[in-house]
Amino acid sequence: MNEFFELSVDAGIAHLKLNRPERMNTLAPPFFSALRDAVQGMSDAGATRALVISSTGKHFSAGMSLDVFAGSELSLPTGTPRSRLSFQESLRRLMACFDVLDAARFPILCAVQGGCIGGALDLAAACDLRYASADTFFCVQEINIGMAADLGVLQRLPKIIAPAVAREMAYTGERLGAERALAIGLVNAVLPDAEALVAHTLSVARTIAAKSPLAIAGTKLAMNYARDHGTAAALAQMATLQSAIFDTGEMAEAITAWRDKREGRFPPLDPVGAH
């Protein structure tokens, strides 16, 4: 547990819970590296099979703290070529903190209640799956404070929902409610309240965690690659990927478990760097 979130793991399912409800779970600069390090550590270790990100209080997150833009928490110099070059590198490093969600070797499920605003939507868009409570709304808030969103939502959202809807959200800064989010495919399900939301999301995570982690990791790699490349290139990548991860022993266990109506017994992924 740290200032921004608490993290627990049970039977291969990790649960990262934002825990600053008194500040509407706003995201201060240290949050990003803490999130990056936590997710990267779990991905490298190989034991985590799914991660649920949820929150506390009325809102999932109000996004980046406005104190950041006021200059009290983070200096944003852009007055000279050198300072602009430094700004670019700082921004790339912030972007990379959400990139790790996309690159993790396990699916990441986001359970959103209340407001998912600004930088919080960048975070949610970087997850594999999103679920919402009935009171949820999503907002590209950055346009309302005179800036373009810059942590991935403009790049990821048009690949999740219809591009025209993503543009409308990005240009207007208007709120998108839970039912509309469900209708356009931004979320997979809408639950009546936060308690039901987290229970449902953890249930989906348990279903995923029961599968072969090797097959799940390969599936995520293939789908991410296909999202960002043409069909021919994605099929070529799939041939290479499948030749690397095809495991008849893993398949035999999965089939036997299915026939015997029991959970499969699959070893974790090897830690990154192990030989």
Give the tens place of pLDDT for each residue, 18-75: 999 999 999 999 999 999 999 999 999 999 999 999 999 999 999 998 766 555 445 5
Indicate the burial class of 252 (C-beta count within 10 angstroms; 0-12, 13-18, 19 or more). Answer: exposed
The angle, 0 to 180 degrees and rounded to 10, between the axes of the packed helices 81-103 and 29-45 is 40
Return the number of other C-beta atoms located less than 10 Å from residue 206's C-beta: 17
The pLDDT, as a whole number, for residue 273 is: 80
In angstroms, the CA 150 to CA 142 distance is 9
For the record, the structure tokens of 141 come out as 């808030």
Q: Residue 135: is its pLDDT beyond 90? A: yes
Q: pTM score, two decimals?
A: 0.94
Q: Are 176 and 137 in contact (CB under 8 A)?
A: yes
